[in-house]
Structure 1
Amino acid sequence: MAGATREQAGDLTIQEMARRSGFSEPTLRYYEKIGLLGEVARDESSGHRRYGPATADRVEALSCLRSAGMSVSGMRRYLDLLARGDSAAAEQRDLFSAQAEKLAADIEQLQLRLTYLRGKADLWDARVRGDRVAEERAIDDVVRVVERFAH
């Protein structure tokens, strides 16, 4: 490949792979150790890892899954199902549906926390302004949010 950079050619160092994927170098080493990446090629002269195109694609897929909150066991399941091809399509669907439901529940909890923080900010703002009516309203709002935490 005349004029291609090492990254364009897919021959990435661990530093380049970390930068590209968002994973830390120790995470990449760990994923290799536990078998998520398959065999990672090594430079013959230095022994340093070299991530070829197929491995780089795998790392990027894992990065997407991880950013969606998937656990290591979920990523392993995804790769196992992927290796089975279309015969595992229903199981892949179920894996992604379950992860989507988990993420939706996480988002709901984050929204609740956001509502709580905004309510507390409103409470303190009312105190700063000396607005007792707004302060009482904010206290009531915060109490309702705290009650939702308990359920």
Structure 2
Amino acid sequence: MAVEAGPWATIQEASRRSGLSEPTLRYYEQIGLIDPVPRDESSGHRRYSAEAVERLEALACLRGAGMGIGDMRVHLELLTEGNAAAEQQQELFERHAARLVAEIDGLRLRLDYLTLKAELWAARARGDEPAEQAAIVALTALIAQF
């Protein structure tokens, strides 16, 4: 497939704009997340259209939000249905948002644990027995949440 005259991006430019690595761009093309990319007739290098780069930027956002390839495919398929698939799109994104909330809750728990451990050791370093005991009580309560 030859490239017509007009604005296009090299693989390096598409990678830079999307934030995805060049191997990822090739992989996304290989598995059909993006349409086959036309090649320059003289060099054989890939030439990405503005639409392809926009799609890569959108896929990079989905990937950055933790969406897997399977759900990216679902999203792209639903896009072809437009507003008729709005409820399915909503469910897809709500499911991912709920997963992120759970991940954030887990990270907060880990952060609280580390903060309390630091407080425990700071109390020990100061020789502050009441603060040490308070940290132990708080840690014990927190560990029960793991």
TM-score normalized by the length of structure 2: 0.88
Shift of 1:100: 1.1
1:81 to 74, 78, 81: 78
SS of the aligned residue for 2:81 comes to: helix
2:51 pairs with 1:54: yes
2:143 pairs with 1:133: no
2:114 pairs with 1:120: no
1:30-109 counterparts in 2 under 5 A? 30-109=27-106
RMSD, aligned CA: 1.5
Measure, in 2, the Cα distance between the counterparts of 1:51 and 1:130: 64
Task: Compare the two structures and name the one with the higher helix fraction.
Answer: 1
Number of corresponding residues: 141
Shift of 1:101: 1.0
Contact 1:10 1:56 in 2 (8 A): no
Give the corresponding residue for 2:26. 29
The percent identity for this pair of structures is 54
Give the corresponding residue for 1:3. none
Measure, in 2, the Cα distance between the counterparts of 1:45 and 1:129: 73
Measure, in 2, the Cα distance between the counterparts of 1:125 and 1:16: 50
Shift of 1:10: 5.1
- More deviation in 89-98 or 15-24? 15-24
- Structure 2 gaps of 5+ residues are 1-5
Give the corresponding residue for 1:15. 12
- Change over 3 Å in CA distance of 1:134–1:57 after alignment to 2: same
Shift of 1:70: 0.9
TM-score normalized by the length of structure 1: 0.85
1:34 maps to a residue whose letter is I
Report runs of 4+ in structure 1 exceeding 4 Å deviation.
none
- Structure 1 gaps of 5+ residues are 1-8
